[in-house]
Amino acid sequence: MNALTLWFHKLGSPPYFYRFAGRLLPWLYGASIALAAPALWLGLFRAPADYLQGESVRILYIHVPCAWMSLFAYLAMAGAGFVALVWRIKLAELIAMAAAPVGAAFTFVTLVTGSLWGRPTWGTYWVWDARLTSELVLLFLYFGVIGLYRAFDDPRRGARAACLLALIGVVNLPVVHYSVVWWNTLHQAQSVSLMSGSSIHPSMLVPLLLMALATHVWFFASVFARARIATLEQEAGKEWVRELARAGSTA
Amino acid sequence: MKAGSTASAFVAVLRRDLVVFWRHRSDALNPLVFALIVVTMFPLSLGPESQRLAPIAGGVTFVTVVLASLLSLDALFRSDAEDGSLDLLVTSGQPLALIAAARLLAHWLGTGLPLTLAGPLFATLLGLPYAAAATLAGALALGTPLLSLIGGACAALTVGLRRSGILLALLVLPLTLPVLIFGAGAVEAAASGATVQVPLLFLAAGLALALPLAPLACAAAIRLNVS
């Protein structure tokens, strides 16, 4: 067994993951803030205001990366769920269930920033646009996964059921998206297009990409932090957790 | 058909479910009555003018059918899980997906088919033109099996819970939105004189996709819950 597969197998063991994630977390949070700070500064102060949308275009430096993350988090959750169901790795269940609330939060932020941006731009907080509607449906799918996980008395059984639901959702996600697009073109002669044909200037692209990186790193930090605590809860009563608690109470 | 073969297991489950359905046939009316009550609520809340009701008749009927098909989902696997017969089905050695498919077929015959037949009638009560009502019948014939398949997979996920309650609706409804979009889209296309083929073909494609996948998901969910 080579070093990488050995490390991967070790990572599946809860005590090893607990220590590993604990060491990794400060770096992840640090990197995320280090990326987000210049992105916010560039986006909120340096990037030019749009000649049509004015200063409100700056919301998009948060809105767009969050929208990307809302999808990425769902795919990550479903991927971890697949690993959990096929190889029955406990840690993958915890990762998948940790990703669900984080993804839901990103989706919620996307919807809120989008409606705040829509008020000055479209003149209304909400339109039944294809993108908005499918984002809303994505939020419902997250709620379903979280709700199913919480409904079970046995958290492991709940996690496995929720992982399966996430997989069903991932099959359904493109269907939902394209059916909503189709529905929208049926009802509206022309949908409001965000950046019609114009290529993005580097002064706008750099903060956008920095922010996208920052949200990705933040996502992993947040998921690891949640999974770390979930590990402790699940392994409560095991020897290594007791030792940890004893060390914590004496220190 | 040889006793103990997979085909005989399929037929046995189907026959048993249909017999149970027939013994409780007064219960089977409940989704229809529920749908009719919901349909009645729209003229009462929006006003009786036909120029206001007719444009939304198809969509309202489709929403009603989706809601009515939710009602019987919770009972789909629960009583079997409680009396232990679900464990016997799992350990029977027959492919669980096929047994689940038989159960879903029986569910569609008991709930989806009556709603398919009654849906166009309800829509014409709201003033849907007869030509569009025929399209609605077609859309329901393709859409209600999809509702049973998707709903069945979600019901199997919640079978380990004591009560699924509102959670089941929360799981099923977002997944059924494409059915609603294409079904109601077909009716609207028919009412406005556009071609109805595209949304109906999309519904048929969804059915072709769900027909093999949903029973497999059902079987996996049941295994998670009974083991």
* Residue B55 touches partner A, C-beta closer than 8 Å: no
- pLDDT number for residue B207: 95
- pLDDT number for residue B19: 92
pLDDT digits (tens, 9 = 90+) for B19-33: 988 898 888 888 999
Residue A13 pLDDT class (50, 70, 90 cuts): confident
- Lowest mean pLDDT, pick from A193-207, B140-154, B193-207: A193-207
Which among B178, B206, B224 has CB closest to A161? B224
pLDDT digits (tens, 9 = 90+) for A59-93: 888 898 999 999 999 999 999 999 999 988 889 99
- pLDDT number for residue A144: 94
- pLDDT number for residue A190: 42
B182: β partners? none
- pLDDT number for residue B43: 92
- What residue of B is the nearest CA neighbor of A184? B181
Mean pLDDT value across chain A: 85
* Residue B125 touches partner A, C-beta closer than 8 Å: no
pLDDT of B171 > 70? The answer is yes
**Tokens 């992982």 sit on residue:** A163
Q: Token digits for B62?
A: 């489709």
Q: Does the ipTM exceed 0.90? A: no
Mutate to test the interface with B, among A82, A164, A167 (most CBs of B within 10 A): A164
Tell me if A176 and B177 make a contact (CB, 8 A cut-off). Answer: yes
Q: Which domain holds residue B18?
A: 6-226
* Residue B157 touches partner A, C-beta closer than 8 Å: yes
Tell me if A137 and B185 make a contact (CB, 8 A cut-off). Answer: no
From CA B141, how far away is CA B143, in angstroms rounded? 6
- pLDDT number for residue B1: 67
Tell me if B170 and A144 make a contact (CB, 8 A cut-off). Answer: yes
- pLDDT number for residue A188: 53
- pLDDT number for residue A192: 45
B118: part of which helix (H) or strand (E)? helix B113-125
From CA A114, how far away is CA A126, in angstroms rounded? 9
CA distance A152 to chain B (A): 6
From CA A126, how far away is CA A118, in angstroms rounded? 7
From CA A122, how far away is CA A127, in angstroms rounded? 8
pLDDT digits (tens, 9 = 90+) for A164-208: 999 999 988 888 888 888 787 766 544 444 544 456 677 778 888
Q: What integer is the mean pLDDT of B35-41?
A: 94
Which residues lie closer than 8 Å to A85 by C-beta, 6 or more apart?
A: A160, A163, A164, A167, B220
* Residue A160 touches partner B, C-beta closer than 8 Å: yes
pLDDT of B73 > 70? The answer is yes
Is residue B124 within 8 A of residue B133, CB to CB? The reply is yes
- pLDDT number for residue B220: 93
B67 in any annotated domain: yes
CA distance A179 to chain B (A): 6
The three-class DSSP label of residue A146 is helix
- Residues of chain A contacting residue B217, judged by C-beta atoms under 8 Å apart: 164, 167-168
- pLDDT number for residue A138: 93
Phi-psi map region of A21: left, alpha, beta (phi>0 left; psi -120 to 50 alpha)? alpha
- Residues of chain B contacting residue A140, judged by C-beta atoms under 8 Å apart: 170, 173-174
The three-class DSSP label of residue A45 is helix
Return the top range by mean pLDDT from A5-9, A114-118, A233-237, B183-187: B183-187
Residues A173-177: contacts with CB under 8 Å, at least 24 apart:
A173/A74, A173/A138, A173/A141, A175/B178, A175/B206, A176/A134, A176/A137, A176/A138, A176/B174, A176/B175, A176/B177, A176/B178, A177/A134
* Residue B149 touches partner A, C-beta closer than 8 Å: no
B1 in any annotated domain: no
Q: What integer is the mean pLDDT of B92-99?
A: 90
* Residue B171 touches partner A, C-beta closer than 8 Å: yes
- pLDDT number for residue A189: 45
**E-strand spans in B32-175?**
none
From CA A241, how far away is CA A230, in angstroms rounded? 12
Residue B102 pLDDT class (50, 70, 90 cuts): very high
Which among B174, B185, B225 has CB closest to A140? B174
Q: What integer is the mean pLDDT of A111-128?
A: 85
Q: Token digits for A21?
A: 């994630």
pLDDT of A217 > 90? The answer is yes
- For chain A, give percent helix, strand, coil, nearest 5: 85, 0, 15
Mean pLDDT value across chain B: 90
DSSP A251: -
* Residue A82 touches partner B, C-beta closer than 8 Å: no
* Residue A152 touches partner B, C-beta closer than 8 Å: yes
- pLDDT number for residue A191: 43
Domains and CATH numbers, chain A: 27-189+200-238 (1.20.120)
* Residue B219 touches partner A, C-beta closer than 8 Å: no
pLDDT of B165 > 50? The answer is yes
Which residues lie closer than 8 Å to A94 by C-beta, 6 or more apart?
A: A159, A227, A230, A231, A234
Please give the tally of structural domains in chain B. Answer: 1
- pLDDT number for residue A187: 61
Residues A46-51: contacts with CB under 8 Å, at least 24 apart:
A46/A203, A46/A207, A47/A203, A47/A204, A47/A207, A48/A201, A48/A203, A48/A204
Percent pLDDT > 90 in chain A is 41
- Lowest mean pLDDT, pick from A119-128, B53-62, B147-156: A119-128
